[in-house]
C-alpha cells in the first residue's frame, strides 16, 4: 500500500502529469493534495477549476485499491519521483511521469543510448541494429528501446546476447507483453535489464499510448539512434522528442531507393549524426572507446566442417534458416543443429523470423 495515494491522485480526471507534480510540489505528498480543501487547491497556480472540481468529487478508492492489488500480485516495483532510484535524466523533461512501474532493475544514472526504427525492418536494418547494440553493450552502454517488432526487438536482443543491459519502455501496462511473440524477450529484459511503463497495470497497447512513451525512451538516453524509418514513422517522433530534450540524434543511412529509408535519410539531411560504426556514437557522446570493432573474422577456436560452412555463409550477410538450408549442402536437421552449436559458442546470433547473423 506504499503508493496507494499516488495511484489515487493519478486516477483523478483532469489531473495529468504536470498538475500532479504541481500538487506534489505544493503539498509534499499525494495524500495531502487529496485531503486539501477546494479553496486551498484554487490558490495553486496552474491547477484548473475543472481539476479542483474533480479532486473534490472523484471517489478514488476502488481504482487505488485495485492498482495496489495488481502491483502486489505481479511483484511489480513502483518508482516515484521522490525516490533516489528515479532517473535524473527523466526528471529533466517538461512532463516527467510522477511515478512509473518497473520490472527488473535500474542501475543509477547508467549511460544509455536509445535505438529505434521500423517495425517492418529489412534484413539490413535488423542486422545493423543487432551489431550496433552488441557493440554498445561491449562499451558498457545500456540500450533503451520500445520492445516493438523489427528494429526495437533486434536492438534489445543484440545488447542482451552480448551480455549488456537493456531497458524496454512500453506503451501498455508493464504486465502486458506486446507484441505477444516477445514473451521470451520480455523475460530476458526483466532478468538482465528492465521493463518500465507509466501506464496503469493492465493497460492495453492503444495507438495513442506509443507517442507518449517515446518521450520517455529519449529522456532516459543521452542520444537516440534511428536505424531505419520511413516518412511519418513513430521513430521520427522519438527523434523530435530527443531534440526538444537536448539529446543527440544519430541515424544510420538507408538505401535511397526504398521508402523505408526516407525518414532516416531525412534526419541526416537535417543534421543528425551519420552512424556507420559504434565509434561514431561514442565520439559524439565523449565516451572513450575501449576497443575497435572490425568486420567479422574467423573464431580463434576450431570449427567443424559443417560449422565452418555455415559460418562462411553468414559472413556474407543475414540469412533466414530456409535460405541457409538451400545454400548449404546440409539437411534441415543438420542446419538446425549446427546453428544451435554456433549460437552456443557465441559466434552467431538469431534475429526475429528465424534469421541468423554473425556476431
pLDDT in tens, 96-137: 999 999 999 999 879 999 999 999 888 788 888 988 999 999
Query: Which has more pLDDT, 331 or 99?
Result: 99
Instruction: Tell me if 346 is assigned to some domain.
Output: yes
* 248 phi and psi angles, rounded to 5 deg: -75, 150
Q: Which of these three, 227, 251, 285, is where a domain ends?
A: 285
Reported as a pLDDT band with limits 50, 70 and 90, residue 2 is: confident
Instruction: Tell me if 225 is assigned to some domain.
Output: yes
Confidence at residue 72, expressed as pLDDT on a 0 to 100 scale:
96
- Give the 3-state secondary structure of 121-180: CCHHHHHHHHHHHHHHHHCCCEEEECCCCCHHHHHHHHHHCCCCCEEEECCCCCCCCCCH
The H helix count followed by the E strand count for the chain is 17, 12
Report residue 347 CA to chain centroid gap.
Answer: 25
Cα–Cα distance between 359 and 349 in angstroms, integer? 6
Torsion angle, alpha carbons of 134, 139, 142, 146, to 10:
-30
Do residues 133 and 276 both lie within one domain? yes
Do residues 18 and 125 both lie within one domain? no
CB 167 within 8 A of CB 190: no
Confidence at residue 179, expressed as pLDDT on a 0 to 100 scale:
94
Do residues 122 and 244 both lie within one domain? yes
Instruction: Tell me if 219 is assigned to some domain.
Output: yes
Confidence at residue 300, expressed as pLDDT on a 0 to 100 scale:
60
User: At residue 298, does pLDDT exceed 60?
Assistant: no
Give the domain extent around 65: 1-74
Cα–Cα distance between 260 and 12 in angstroms, integer? 41
Reported as a pLDDT band with limits 50, 70 and 90, residue 22 is: very high
User: What burial class does residue 207 get, using C-beta atoms within 10 Å of its C-beta: 0-12 exposed, 13-18 middle, 19+ buried?
Assistant: exposed
Instruction: Tell me if 198 is assigned to some domain.
Output: no
Do residues 213 and 248 both lie within one domain? yes
Reported as a pLDDT band with limits 50, 70 and 90, residue 359 is: confident
Q: What mean pLDDT, rounded, does the chain reach?
A: 91
Rounded to an integer, the average pLDDT of 324-347 is 88
Do residues 142 and 261 both lie within one domain? yes
Do residues 142 and 216 both lie within one domain? yes
| Residue from 237, 231, 186 nearest 208 by CA | 237
User: At residue 347, does pLDDT exceed 90?
Assistant: no
CB 358 within 8 A of CB 315: yes
Do residues 151 and 233 both lie within one domain? yes
Give me the CATH number covering residue 15: 1.10.150
| Residue from 132, 317, 355, 318 nearest 226 by CA | 132
Instruction: Tell me if 81 is assigned to some domain.
Output: no
Do residues 253 and 319 both lie within one domain? no
Do residues 19 and 141 both lie within one domain? no
Dihedral-angle region of residue 200 (phi above 0 means left; psi in -120 to 50 means alpha; beta otherwise) = beta
* CA distances for 267 relative to 78, 283, 289, angstroms: 36, 19, 25
Residue with cell 534484413: 123
Do residues 149 and 260 both lie within one domain? yes
| Residue from 328, 2, 41 nearest 12 by CA | 41
User: At residue 283, does pLDDT exceed 60?
Assistant: yes
Rounded to an integer, the average pLDDT of 222-249 is 93
Do residues 142 and 217 both lie within one domain? yes
Amino acid at each position: 500500500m506504499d503508493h496507494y495515494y499516488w495511484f489515487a491522485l493519478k486516477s483523478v480526471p483532469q489531473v495529468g502529469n504536470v498538475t500532479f507534480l504541481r500538487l506534489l510540489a505544493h503539498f509534499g505528498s499525494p495524500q495531502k493534495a487529496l485531503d486539501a480543501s477546494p479553496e486551498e487547491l484554487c490558490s495553486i497556480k496552474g491547477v484548473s477549476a475543472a481539476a479542483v472540481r474533480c479532486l473534490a468529487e472523484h471517489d478514488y478508492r476502488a481504482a487505488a485499491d485495485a492498482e495496489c492489488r495488481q502491483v502486489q500480485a505481479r511483484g511489480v516495483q513502483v518508482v516515484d519521483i521522490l525516490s533516489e532510484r528515479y532517473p535524473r535524466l527523466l526528471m529533466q523533461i517538461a512532463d516527467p511521469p510522477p511515478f512509473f512501474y518497473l520490472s527488473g532493475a535500474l542501475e543509477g544514472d547508467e549511460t544509455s543510448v536509445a535505438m529505434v526504427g521500423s517495425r517492418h525492418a529489412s534484413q539490413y536494418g535488423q542486422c545493423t541494429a543487432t551489431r550496433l547494440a552488441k557493440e554498445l553493450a561491449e562499451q558498457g552502454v545500456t540500450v533503451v528501446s520500445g520492445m516493438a517488432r523489427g528494429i526495437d526487438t533486434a536492438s534489445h536482443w543484440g545488447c542482451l546476447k552480448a551480455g549488456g543491459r537493456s531497458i524496454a519502455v512500453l506503451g501498455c501496462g508493464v504486465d502486458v507483453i506486446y507484441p505477444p511473440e516477445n514473451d521470451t524477450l520480455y523475460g530476458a529484459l526483466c532478468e538482465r535489464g528492465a521493463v518500465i511503463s507509466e501506464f496503469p497495470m493492465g493497460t492495453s497497447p492503444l495507438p495513442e499510448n506509443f507517442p507518449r512513451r517515446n518521450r520517455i525512451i529519449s529522456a532516459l538516453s543521452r542520444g537516440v539512434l534511428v536505424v531505419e524509418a520511413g516518412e511519418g514513422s513513430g521513430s521520427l517522433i522519438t527523434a523530435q522528442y530527443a531534440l526538444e530534450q537536448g539529446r543527440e540524434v544519430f541515424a544510420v543511412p538507408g538505401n535511397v531507393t526504398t521508402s523505408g529509408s526516407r525518414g532516416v535519410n531525412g534526419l541526416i539531411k537535417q543534421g543528425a549524426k551519420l552512424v556507420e560504426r559504434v565509434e561514431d556514437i561514442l565520439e559524439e557522446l565523449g565516451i572513450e572507446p575501449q576497443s575497435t570493432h572490425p568486420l567479422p573474422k574467423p573464431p580463434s577456436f576450431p570449427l567443424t566442417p559443417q560449422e565452418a560452412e555455415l559460418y562462411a555463409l553468414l559472413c556474407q550477410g543475414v540469412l533466414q534458416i530456409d535460405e541457409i538450408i538451400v545454400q548449404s549442402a546440409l539437411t534441415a536437421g543438420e542446419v538446425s543443429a549446427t546453428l544451435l552449436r554456433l549460437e552456443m559458442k557465441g559466434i552467431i546470433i538469431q534475429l526475429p523470423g528465424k534469421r541468423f547473423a554473425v556476431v
